[in-house]
Every structure is written in structure tokens, then in C-alpha cells.
Amino acid sequence: MKNTKYIFVTGGVLSSLGKGISSSSIATLLKHSGYQISILKIDPYINVDPGTMSPLEHGEVFVTFDGAETDLDIGHYERFLNKDFSKQNNFTTGQIYLSVIEKERKGKYLGKTIQIVPHIVDEIKNRIKSAGENSDFLVVELGGTVGDMEGMPYLEAMRQMKHELGNDLVISIHVTLIPLIKAAGELKTKPTQHSVQELRRIGISPQIILARCEKPLSKELKKKLALSCDVDDDSVIVAEDAESIYKCPMNFLKEGILTPIARRFKINQLNPKMDEWDMLVKKIISPKNSLNIAFVGKYLNLKESYKSLTEALTHAGANLDTRVNIKWIDSENITSSNINMFGDVDSILIPGGFGERGVNGKIEAIKYARENKIPFLGICLGMQLCIVEFARNVLGILDANSTEFDTKTKNPFIYLIEDFIDQQGKEQIRTHQSPMGGTMRLGEYECKIKPKTILWNAYNYKDTIKERHRHRYEANPKYKNDLQAKGLIISGESKSGLIEAVEIKEHPFFIGVQFHPEFTSRLQNPNPIILEFVKKTLEFQKK
């Protein structure tokens, strides 16, 4: 078993400083230095997972290949490291307490009084160590901010692991804000000093300070921070606002973050090979081409709700040397009378979503793309609405609908399957009476592709692919023949015959997919169907 080295990343002063990007960047540099890397996000909230939380409350729910609904930072980890992670790489306070209580009910603590120390903290430590098995390094990101009461058991677990494993196997990196007081034109270090004092009060002394700021720190300020926070002079790393999140690893490398990491862990100098990464980042920042995509959504008040998809468009653009400009369109504002709002875009994208709000506007957008032969990609609900739109406007079935929006519809082109045999052969009961968190088809499923289709070409002529799902409703196979007779091709199906993809042949590019391709897109390995969508958009634009 490997002697795993642990890097704990905490945040101070305020939230949303970019701990996830910082953790991903550090892990990326270590991976490109030739090491086996794993990464873990700890969320201090009491929800068991973010699956039932509103996107406007928490941002996107990211789905792993094994069906875990996780924090969106897991998406950053996969996109940066070009690696699949699992439910083991994210846990919450809710999961910790649930696990401890279940063990207590089964008598596994032999009648002991259950306390935060040692029982809760031991459960945390065990999960951290489990996530780090068979890796050279485990980067552990603790959500929230130092000083939050929810985070105290995790900080205690960090302190104990440092005590148990020693300085050669555990280091602490603190991400903190250096605010710019614009009226005075000064950067202030006092909030960082107080944040580090709070950490030290509970027994943790960070070895590296990641200073988030709007402009560079002077040598004098760096020395002041190093002295007041008791870190080495080369261990104050400036994390300036970057033109792209994917430039952060290069910026950290330039700042010399690997020097104190190597010294602390007593390993040889780290020399990451970042040539390909650097080339892609340059194409993000200064591309040769540009195009405009209409992004028709309904969670636009918090665009983090669509984080994986917007990043997937960036990946595709980087690999095609193209800037993808997103025109955000609220589907609630679309009507047949103002459909000309799509006149200045090169293609239309409709993402996944839940609920009836904004559905009619999305259907109008699909009709416009289909009739005007504009490149179109529909994802999850986007695919389901492709079918509803086609049924209403091509098949002439005006009351075609989804039971999600009309439980009594006589033509349920989209419906909730009562009994479904999943790919593992286990019966999965899914009804309208099931608990909200238990009615999903979640995680990776196989899709069999029809030859000589858009999907087949995009996935390099593969007969079978695996993509991730997160949805409750399915396209009703009962209508397959009617749809195909009028020109809507079923280009992808699951093992059990569920519709996974539909497309129109006599169209430059029109496809809807039931799965979420954005969950498997990475900077160095963009998802094939999203890459093909951007590629066809570029070709359409140049005609």
C-alpha cells in the first residue's frame, strides 16, 4: 500500500474564493509531474447530497459515473485531471452523521456514548484515508470558511491526521482573500492574518498561503504575510484573477507553488509537463475563430447551474481554436412573436432541467431551429421536448405532452416508467409516488448507436458508448415507429430499448440526447457530441 501524502485546502475570510479551482490546479500540476493523484471534496452541509437542492440554492449537481449526485467541484476535478471520480470523492456532514447513527443502532460502538470526538472525527478520518488509497497524493478540499461551526469536526480531523502521520505526509494550504480597498488603492492583509490566527487557535498551522487578489502582491506585502502567518517567504502564492480557470495551474507554476510542496514532503523537484495544456489555454484566451450559441435555459439567475455544460463548450472551442460566445436566453421570455431573438446566433442549445416552467419557450426554440435548419443540440429535457415538438408540429398530435407537465395527457410521448430493469439487471421501481431522491436514473449507462447517424459519426463510428444520466422521465418507446415514419431518427437506444438519442437527417445538425454529455467533457478530452455540435456550428457559420 502506498504511503499517501495529504494536502488539505481550507478557505478563509469569505466563501467562493476558488478553493475548487485551486485544489484542481494543484492536483493537475502533481499529475503532470508523474504522480498518481486523487482528490476529495468535503461539504459541511447536513443534506445527504445536493440532489434535492435547488440549482439556484447550490449551483449544479454533478453526477459521477457510479451515480452519485455530488458538489459541482467534483466536475472541476474531472475536467482538470481528465479522470473519473466516484461517490468516494465527495462526502457531506449528513452522510457522516447518518453512517455513525446507523452503526450505533447496530451496536457497533458497544454501548459507548456517541460523541463528535472520537466517533464523528474517526468516521471523517476513515473516509479521507479511504479516498487516498493507492494514490501518491490526496488533495482534500474542505468546503465553507474557517470559523464556520459546521466545519469544526473536519478541522479537528485534519489536526489529528497531522499529529498521527507527521509533517512529511500532511500539509495545509489556506486560500484567503487579500481585499483591494479601491478608494485608497491598497491591498489589505489583515483579514488573512485573522483567518490564519483562527486556524492556529484550533491547532492547524498552514504551510502555504494562497492569496486571492485582484492585482499582484508586492514583495513587501508577501514578506509581511509570510512573517505574520508564520510561513516561509516562498510559500505565499499569489492567486490573481485569471483570464480562464484553466490558466490557474500555469499561474501557480510560475508563482513557484511546487517548491514548498516538494520541500515539505521531502521529495525531488517537481517538473510537470504542461505543453499541451498550455497550448489549449492559449486557444481559449486568443482563438482564431468565434461563434455565437443561444443557450436557452431557466436557471439563469445562477449560471453555475449549468457549469459543466458551459465548460464543455469551452473545451470544444479550445480544441477547435474557437471562442464560444454564449447568448443567454430565458425560456420564459420566448414566444412565437419574438422568435427573431435567435436571428443573430449560429446555433441553439437547450440543456436539461426539471418542471413545467419555461417549457413552451423551449418548444418554440426547437421549432425555430428545426424549420430554419439552424444547428441544434438538446440535452435530457431538451431531447424530450424535441420529441414533443415533433409530435405536435409534424405528426399533428396537438395534445402530445410529457406526464411531467400533464399527468392525464392522452398522448404521453414522455412518461415515467413504472418498472424499469436497469443495466445491472436489478429492478428499479420508479413511480410518481416515489420519494423525490429515489426516482432518478443516475450515473453511467450504455447507449447502442445506430450506424451512419450524426451520433455514430460524432463518436468515431462506435457501436456502443457509455454516458451519464440524471432524469426521472423517459421517451415513450410506444411512439418510435410513428416518429421514425415522419423522419425523426432514433439514433441511440439503451440495452432495454429506451430512447437515448433522436435526430433529423435532412438538417445540417439536429440532435437530442437523453444523457448528459457535459459530465464527461474535459479540457484535454472534450465530449464527442458537444465537440461535433460546435464544429458543425462553425461550418454553418462560414457558409
Residue 90: its H or E element: strand 90-92
Question: How far apart (Å, rounded) are the C-alpha atoms in residues 486 and 475?
Answer: 17
Cβ atoms of 193 and 228 closer than 8 Å: yes
- 410506444: which residue's cell? 478
| Three-class secondary structure of residue 268 per DSSP | coil
Catalytic residue ranges = 380, 516, 518
- 464560444: which residue's cell? 324
Question: How far apart (Å, rounded) are the C-alpha atoms in residues 484 and 501?
Answer: 12
Give CA 111 to chain center in angstroms: 41
Question: How far apart (Å, rounded) are the C-alpha atoms in residues 510 and 28?
Answer: 36
Which of these, 468, 469, 444, 449, lies nearest to 460 by C-alpha position?
A: 449
Let me know if 267 is exposed, middle or buried by CB neighbors in 10 A (0-12, 13-18, 19+).
middle
Cβ atoms of 265 and 168 closer than 8 Å: yes
User: Is the bond into 216 cis (omega within 30 degrees of 0)?
Assistant: no
Reading the block at residue 19, the C-alpha cell is 478553493
- Could you give phi then psi for residue 137, rounded to 5 degrees? -130, 140
What is the DSSP-derived secondary structure letter of residue 313? Answer: H
What is the DSSP-derived secondary structure letter of residue 118? Answer: I
**Got the DSSP string for 478-507?**
GGHHHHHHTTEEEEEE-TT--EEEEEESSS
Count the neighbouring beta carbons within 10 Å of the beta carbon of residue 95.
Answer: 18
Which of these, 157, 173, 168, lies nearest to 3 by C-alpha position?
A: 168
Question: How far apart (Å, rounded) are the C-alpha atoms in residues 500 and 518?
Answer: 15
Give CA 405 to chain center in angstroms: 28
* CB hemisphere CA count around 403 (13 angstroms): 18
Strands (DSSP E) found in 127-283: 137-142, 170-177, 180-181, 186-187, 208-213, 236-240
